[in-house]
Chain A
């Protein structure tokens, strides 16, 4: 499977500031990356699908102006949480898919980023 990294692994910020999270596909070129959010003791909720070179597709209820996604290369997608508030505190996880290895429906996940907004 694909090897995915995220940076940072955790971040603490003040309310009103912006935070950028990076997701990297280390061993293959990912045309599609996904961003999920996971609150404590809950399941993963898809926020958006990120396609290289085009605009991200956001799920219903996810504010695209608040959660900015950039997928400028085949190995890097970034999620920027703008004007973060305490309710944005969560575990953010990216995954890579798109089947560069011949199985388009498989997804491999990064280690996640713990965001805490004070």
Chain B
């Protein structure tokens, strides 16, 4: 089955700095890679996703890059703000698995004002 590893587990940055979270996946057939933000006591919220036919996608301060050859993808947050503090999860899925998501272990991002 699919295995997704996420690093770092915790990340502390100063407000205004950039934050980068990296994930690797094991199944080369994976073709959909979403990122979720989870605030304390809440469900995960989809913030950005990328598909295997695209190398990079950007939405305002958030961007995701995908390297299919190396089987890794990264989340980039620029100009971080205190409200970006949360736990971020990457995930991967492939159609043959019934569209099931396999999640990374999560990254606790702390943005210090």
Check B99–A32 contact: CB distance below 8 A.
yes
Contact code string A47-76 (vs B, CB < 8 Å = 1, else 0):
001000000010000000000000000000
With A105-B32, A114-B41 known as contacts, the answer to whether A43 contacts B95 (CB < 8 A) is no
Selected from B31, B41, B99, the residue in CB contact (under 8 A) with A97 is B99
A-B residue pair count with CB separations less than 8 angstroms: 58
Check A109–B100 contact: CB distance below 8 A.
no
Check B103–A43 contact: CB distance below 8 A.
yes
* B32, B36, B101 interface centre (most CB from chain A within 10 Å): B101
Interface size class of A (residues with CB under 8 A): 20 to 34
Write the chain A residue with the least CB distance to B106: A43
Chain A residues near B41 (CB-CB < 8 A): 112, 114
Check B49–A44 contact: CB distance below 8 A.
no
Contact code string A102-118 (vs B, CB < 8 Å = 1, else 0):
00111111111010000
User: In whole angstroms, what is the CA distance A10 to B43 when docked?
Assistant: 13
With A44-B103, A112-B42 known as contacts, the answer to whether A49 contacts B98 (CB < 8 A) is yes
Check B46–A108 contact: CB distance below 8 A.
yes
Chain B residues near A46 (CB-CB < 8 A): 100-102
Q: Which residues of B contact A (CB under 8 A)?
A: 31-32, 34, 36, 41-46, 49, 89, 93, 95, 98-106
Q: Which residues of A contact B (CB under 8 A)?
A: 1, 4, 6, 32, 34, 42-46, 49, 57, 93, 95, 97-99, 104-112, 114
